[in-house]
Structure 1
Amino acid sequence: MWKFEFPWLFVLLPLPLFVWWLIPAYRTTAAAIRMPFFREMAEAAGEQPAPGGVRLRRNWLQRLLLPLLWSLLVLAAAKPVYVEAPIIEEAPARDLMLAIDLSGSMATRDFVNQAGERMDRLSAVKQVVADFITKRTRDRIGLVVFGDAAYPQAPLTLDHDSVQILLNQMQIGMAGPRTALGDAIGLTVKLMADSTAEEKVLILLTDGNDTSSAIPPERAAEIAKSHKLVVHTIGIGDPNTSGEDKVDLAALAQIASITGGRAFRALGQQQELAAVYATLDALTPQKIKREIYRPQRDYFWLPLAAALSLFTLYHVLAWLLSLLRAPHRATASSTAPTTTPHQADHGN
């Protein structure tokens, strides 16, 4: 798209017409005497008379060139620019907090990887979450761990390498043996209170039911909803297990429903857990497009260069023509009637 930075300068286009119309041409008169025998007098005195004045006349090329040059100069002063396509930046669309259960039941070796090897639940979670973090290059990501209580492990940051390091340092039981789901949600609300992201998301992963929260999970979910925090829940482990280690899928589904999130389950296969995170990756697209600026290229030099080239070309051609006409003028002057210099310069 083309535009002019200073379009108001086009009002100067008719300026030469106003100057020609309002300001008269400079004229002067002087006395002159015609002397038919001037050349003979000069030769008798041993003098060489200088050539007389020449009255300059405009030619058709000048009449065409002068308005064109003025138009090109005004065009250059108006500064034409070409506005290119906008530069789009894919900026972070949301803040993601990952809350991971580190209770003692996460040591249960009931997950099977792609090689068919058994592994504990936390090891399976670490591998899948690490891959998930790697893909979310534009989102701020933080970590919360919970057991008897909830603790911030990594603040919201774009430094995903640091998040990966802190993820690898997680150990089973480091937050206590029990499960505090409500506290994990409440802590996330507090950590995201100052977030200006368009969307705030918590991915809550646990293999047990709530046993030690100071605030009931359902109440924590309502508080999260009031702060526009969407909670997706992932239940892992065997729901048929009895006691505190039994994952309460119904409670997790209710938490997700209150906040507008989704509830998932991954039982025994690492591929199942990876599929859950792949679904979450699709549910929370990581980038939004935002126009940063539109590059502009200045082209004022084009009309300026054209004007300078035409001006130079005209004068070069005029100089060449004067060289070609010089012998003819010398011949014509030798046969023309002689006049005084004043007569040639100013006329009668």
Structure 2
Amino acid sequence: MISLGAPWALLLLPLPLLVLWLVPPHRERVPALRFPFFRHIVDAAGSEPGPGAVVLSRTGLQMAAAVAIWLLVLLALARPERVGEPVEITRAARDVVLAIDISGSMDARDFAAPDGTRKQRLEGVREVVRSFVEGREGDRMALIVFGTRAYVQAPLTEDLGTILDLLDRTEVGMAGPHTALGDAIGLAIRTFEASDIEQRLLILLSDGTDTASRMSPVNAAEIARGEDVAIFTVGVGDPEASGEDRVDLATLRDVAARTGGAFFFADDEAGLREVYARIDALAPREVETLSYRPRQSLAWIPLALAALIGTGATGFLALQDQRRTVA
């Protein structure tokens, strides 16, 4: 389908007629001879003197070329374009940040696999998170790891393969031995600042007690609530342990409640898979569909035709003048 991007340009169609009507014609001076008693000599010779300036007349070819060029230039100004079939683009209507605890306690080999064997906590978490990420194709996700400090491993991106690759390369203790739960929430809030999507979800997994944050998890949760960030907290590990090895379920539950999220606890791989399945059910993937029609400009066609007509008419008139001069 062909359409005009600026059809209002066609209102300029009568502009040459207005110029012809309102602007006086251009007069060009011609060679002349003046001498004393000019009027008496002209009367004696019976001649009629001509004007010292004349309005040049136009040939039919010049008029036709001028009209055609004006119409073509006007058509180019109206921006003709070919409109293609509608194209729909589906994109996520919510951004998700994964914050994974990699403090020293995640090295404990007490995470029960479905076959009954015991594996490292981080290893079990990685396998479950991998399946969760793979099931959110089309969403934008970010990855934060935290220990003594919190770090952005991957900013918000639709390249989920990169998220998984970076998660596989993450090792226990890379961010320090302690747990900075509040700093991880604060860093997630800063990560969301690059997002123009209103719905924001933070999934926070930890197996310890906050001991290294510059901001308490509760205060960070209050800020997250003000930024419309919903936090789903997941506790893994042993709530009966002592020191930093004890998972602080009360704080994780409070953080989730303050932001309108939910709290979960899992002490084995099967339970963690169920947790992520419940998170997926509570916060299903939301998308928005954008539709547009591709447009290809065709303004170059009338401009090229106008140039060809102008060049051809000028060349033809110049050739005619040359022939008259020779004759």
> After TM superposition, is the score higher than 0.5?
yes
**Post-superposition offset of 1:257:** 0.7
Pair 1:245 & 2:268 matched: no
**Post-superposition offset of 1:185:** 0.3
Please state whether the residue corresponding to 2:254 is helix, strand or coil.
helix
Q: Match for residue 287 of structure 1?
A: 286
Pair 1:189 & 2:189 matched: yes
Structure 2 letter corresponding to 1:122: L
Q: Match for residue 78 of structure 1?
A: none
TM-score normalised by L of structure 1: 0.58
Structure 1 letter corresponding to 2:170: M
Q: Match for residue 270 of structure 1?
A: 269
Please state whether the residue corresponding to 2:96 is helix, strand or coil.
strand
Note if contact 2:105-2:207 (Cα within 8 Å) is conserved in structure 1.
Answer: yes
Note if contact 2:147-2:177 (Cα within 8 Å) is conserved in structure 1.
Answer: yes
Q: Match for residue 165 of structure 1?
A: 165
Structure 2 CA distance, aligned partners of 1:233 and 1:222?
15
Structure 2 CA distance, aligned partners of 1:190 and 1:288?
23
**Post-superposition offset of 1:215:** 0.3
Structure 1 letter corresponding to 2:270: Q
| Stretches of structure 1 lacking an aligned partner (at least 5 in a row) | 6-83, 296-348
Note if contact 1:200-1:229 (Cα within 8 Å) is conserved in structure 2.
Answer: yes
Structure 2 CA distance, aligned partners of 1:90 and 1:286?
12
Pair 1:125 & 2:125 matched: yes
Structure 1 vs Structure 2: percent identity of aligned residues?
49
Structure 2 CA distance, aligned partners of 1:254 and 1:181?
13
Report 1:1-348 matches (<5 A). Answer: 89-267=89-267, 269-290=268-289, 292-293=291-292
**Post-superposition offset of 1:194:** 2.4
Structure 2 CA distance, aligned partners of 1:273 and 1:181?
19
Deviations 1:245-300 (A, max 9, x none): 11111110100011111000001x201001111111122222324251599xxxxx
Please state whether the residue corresponding to 2:95 is helix, strand or coil.
strand
**Post-superposition offset of 1:90:** 3.4
Please state whether the residue corresponding to 2:245 is helix, strand or coil.
coil
Note if contact 1:138-1:287 (Cα within 8 Å) is conserved in structure 2.
Answer: no
**Post-superposition offset of 1:184:** 0.1
Q: Match for residue 57 of structure 1?
A: none
Structure 1 letter corresponding to 2:203: I
- Deviates further, 276-285 or 96-105: 276-285
Structure 1 CA distance, aligned partners of 2:287 and 2:168?
30
Structure 2 letter corresponding to 1:218: V
Deviations 1:95-145 (A, max 9, x none): 111001111110111111122221010000000011111011111111111
Structure 2 CA distance, aligned partners of 1:162 and 1:213?
28
Structure 2 CA distance, aligned partners of 1:109 and 1:95?
32
Task: State the aligned residue count.
Answer: 216
**Post-superposition offset of 1:159:** 0.8
Structure number with the bigger relative contact order (C-alpha 8 A, sep ≥ 6) is 1
Deviations 1:135-176 (A, max 9, x none): 111111111111111111111101111111100010001101
Structure 2 CA distance, aligned partners of 1:190 and 1:102?
20
Structure 1 CA distance, aligned partners of 2:290 and 2:189?
30
TM-score normalised by L of structure 2: 0.62
Note if contact 2:198-2:228 (Cα within 8 Å) is conserved in structure 1.
Answer: no
Note if contact 2:94-2:287 (Cα within 8 Å) is conserved in structure 1.
Answer: no
Note if contact 2:143-2:152 (Cα within 8 Å) is conserved in structure 1.
Answer: yes
Note if contact 1:221-1:259 (Cα within 8 Å) is conserved in structure 2.
Answer: yes
Note if contact 2:97-2:143 (Cα within 8 Å) is conserved in structure 1.
Answer: yes
- Deviates further, 193-202 or 97-106: 193-202
- Deviates further, 115-124 or 279-288: 279-288
Structure 1 letter corresponding to 2:116: G
Structure 1 letter corresponding to 2:232: H
Note if contact 2:92-2:139 (Cα within 8 Å) is conserved in structure 1.
Answer: yes
**CA RMSD, 1 decimal:** 2.4
Structure 2 CA distance, aligned partners of 1:291 and 1:227?
26
Structure 2 CA distance, aligned partners of 1:221 and 1:103?
21
| Stretches of structure 2 lacking an aligned partner (at least 5 in a row) | 4-84, 295-327
Please state whether the residue corresponding to 2:204 is helix, strand or coil.
strand
Structure 2 letter corresponding to 1:270: E
Note if contact 2:209-2:243 (Cα within 8 Å) is conserved in structure 1.
Answer: no
Structure 1 letter corresponding to 2:287: I
Structure 1 CA distance, aligned partners of 2:105 and 2:189?
26
Structure 1 letter corresponding to 2:110: D
Please state whether the residue corresponding to 1:244 is helix, strand or coil.
helix
